[in-house]
Structure 1
């Protein structure tokens, strides 16, 4: 007869040898789909602009203001969105965000003129503001440290693949049904996804699909959220404490640099190809996809490399910083586009630079490693606020340069210099990647 010790030992061996479930990858799929929808929704106005501006009687200058409206409210809403995330948790916050931004997209299709269109664009910026902080929080809870860079790269690739893959479909919808129908269709898809998120997402401690082997694996790697971690009372002292940490500023300045490259490709890239390179529209339609594909490969490669380095060396600083710094330095190669002559060469340079940006855009993988456990939302909000100032600054700076000089020469120089600044920020400002420890708050929201 087996003794109790023997039975216990057998049970432990059985648990240790149980194949881990893969519930975390189903959650990652939700994040990836949400990110595709997020980026499509914030950029569909650019696809609709030629016909929309004509129907509503909006000049190119006015459309520039409409384009910028999203970034103003998106940036200003980052910290409040982070506080909302810490208060409500990822499930409720993400659901409310997707549902509300999808409603604003539908309203875009009902715009009757400049005023209503501006209101809906400003609302869209507010509604989308919690998305990336929520993504970071979910990855921090659902994935062990050794898998976070790759998980981050997988959901982030959605922002590039979505634009490259679905833009032709959106152009077809406009051609067949008009720009108003496109906004309504895209918004309806978002509302459907919000319902899927509400039904399918749950925190790790609530999961019924995760077995003990996966739970132990994630917990041993620094993941898993406890029910008590969902909230921390707001305190301005927390904000001041986070703003006083070099880790926050180092990561945020680096992300600002990477975002500047993204913003160039989302705003001035087509104009650059037309006015500076004198490419035909048909050629632009083909060539414009290639840099986004390059960025897709870059972000996946960077995530794979980062986690591979962590597993092989155990050095978190090397594993997280090396791919990002290398990517930002590679992004600075955009300056070479000034000096090449052929269309193929310039697209190759720009694709290489955007590949580098994909690698350098993995700053979000650092946030789960440095954010206080119960302030991931606030930390992500501060980080994203600083980083997304690029969406306001970069288009204005490049526009002013082009207006003053009639050339993109100094505009590309600006993008290249900012990329080098971002690399320097990760090297000299960020410091060691380790979790920031802040004093705990008491029940009244005061710091104990």
Structure 2
């Protein structure tokens, strides 16, 4: 504690803002998944209708990731983050204006705008983490703000269960709440954020600590196209295809529990609480673990990849969720898969800032996020079609793939990026 006080700890205030933004992001994103069984009854949606609404979000998210990452690198973290949260808050509230006669088109349009705005959160947050934390602390810092995804996902069922009736009355209100939260965040961000090099509240000692394992960079901008021909970019992008699994839990989890175990809108809060509390623990512990390995003297390459291997092994049991007839065992296994995914995600995000210079980080995260969104689109389309044609047996294949894909993907990532050699500000390998 005394050492922290000597160095200074303003970076943790910035981290708190990242956690707040990510909480809002996932609260906004999760509401429709929680209300899906109720909205389907209200509006007469088929599984394919619901899948198309989810696909609309992910198409925009994919496009947004590609463009917003580069835009944030050009605009800078402060302006880019404000643009992102402003867009997603507007379209999040727009859901409340949708009327029954055009519910599928209306929700699809609102989800499209929401997806484009929300695509900026993680590129901006990872870029901020790279600016404010040394490499040895980035996975843990990323794990902390990434854990806020679960805070938002936990809050959604409790708020929805408290406000929305089982017949759908008051369904619009949860979509409006995030507007107030976002306005508060923007106020705090404008007041508190500057780069650490020019921030009046950052001590010389804290700045030296932040920059202790990275070199200063020039101000020349790098276009996102510059990272496209790097194997490291595609290793990160391949690892991000597992986003499809996380979105499966988020957007289809309530539907699976409803059709399999009869869990309704008022009963879903406790199962989601268990699942996402486990996910929170995974995110924090996963980020801590690789950092602890590095502090023991392991190379970054070894520390990150051994941690990813542990995550992949923890996730394996989720493959049997659809064959159990015990509700709480199914919930526990989904929670275990979510915990492993979030630990995996905390380390995957850090791969980008471990290898690439800070000024290219948001672009790389954006490209990877786009690939993850495309994987989610394919998964939604396939699952929606299978569920309508073959019934709930489609969930068996969904959980089987969700449990087993991480080990395969990790092997491919290692083939593409065996040494994790860092790149300098001109994207040339740095000999270490």
Q: TM-score interval w.r.t. the shorter chain?
A: 0.7 to 0.9
CA distance in 1, matches of 2:381, 2:63: 17
Q: Is the 8 A contact 1:254 1:421 kept in 2?
A: no
Post-superposition CA distance 1:29-70 (Å, at most 9, x none): 000000000111122223444565666665554333223211
Q: Which moved further from structure 2: 384-393 or 18-27?
A: 384-393
- Give the match for residue 105 of structure 1: 92
Q: Which has the larger radius of gyration?
A: 1
What are the within-5 Å matches in structure 2 for residues 1-400 of structure 1? Answer: 19-49=6-36, 61-112=48-99, 113-114=102-103, 115-175=105-165, 178-222=170-214, 228-229=218-219, 232=221, 234=223, 236=225, 238=226, 242-257=227-242, 259-275=243-259, 277-281=260-264, 284-362=268-346, 363-400=348-385
- Distance in 2 (CA, whole Å) between partners of 1:160 and 1:174 is 21
Q: CA deviation at 1:134?
A: 0.8
Deviations 1:307-363 (A, max 9, x none): 111111241112211112211232122123355443333333222222211221121
Note closer, same or farther for the CA distance 1:348–1:125 as it changes in structure 2 (3 Å cut): closer
CA distance in 2, matches of 1:104, 1:18: 42
CA shift, 1:389, in A, is: 2.0
Give the match's secondary structure for 2:211: helix
Please give the alpha-carbon distance, in whole angstroms, between the structure 2 residues aligned to 1:399 and 1:177. 26
Structure 2 Cα separation of the partners of residues 124 and 350 of structure 1 = 26
Provide the residue aligned with 1:428 in structure 2: 415
When the two chains are superposed, the root-mean-square deviation of aligned CA atoms in Å is: 2.7
CA-to-aligned-CA distance 1:155-201 (integer Å, 9 cap, x gap) = 00011122113421233233498122322222222122122212221
Per-residue CA distance 1:394-417 (angstroms, 9 max, x = gap): 222333444454312222222223
Give the whole-Å Cα distance in 1 for the aligned partners of 2:319 and 2:4: 53
Confirm or deny: 8 A CA contact 1:251 1:426 kept in the other structure. Answer: yes
Other structure's SS at 1:389 match: helix
Q: Note if contact 1:324-1:360 (Cα within 8 Å) is conserved in structure 2.
A: yes
Q: After TM superposition, give the deviation of residue 256 of structure 1 in Å.
A: 1.2
Alignment partners' CA distance in 2, 1:38 and 1:19: 34
Provide the C-alpha distance between the structure 1 equivalents of 2:359 and 2:82, rounded to a whole number of angstroms.
20
Deviation at 1:385, TM superposition (A): 1.3
Structure 1: any 5+ residue segments left out of the alignment? 1-15, 442-448
If asked which structure has higher relative contact order (CA below 8 Å, sep 6+), I would say 2
State the TM-score, normalized to the length of structure 2.
0.88
Further displaced range: 296-305 or 50-59? 50-59
Alignment partners' CA distance in 2, 1:385 and 1:195? 29
Alignment CA distance shift 1:390-1:211 (3 Å): same
Asked if the contact 1:260–1:418 (Cα under 8 Å) also holds between the matched residues in 2, the reply is: no
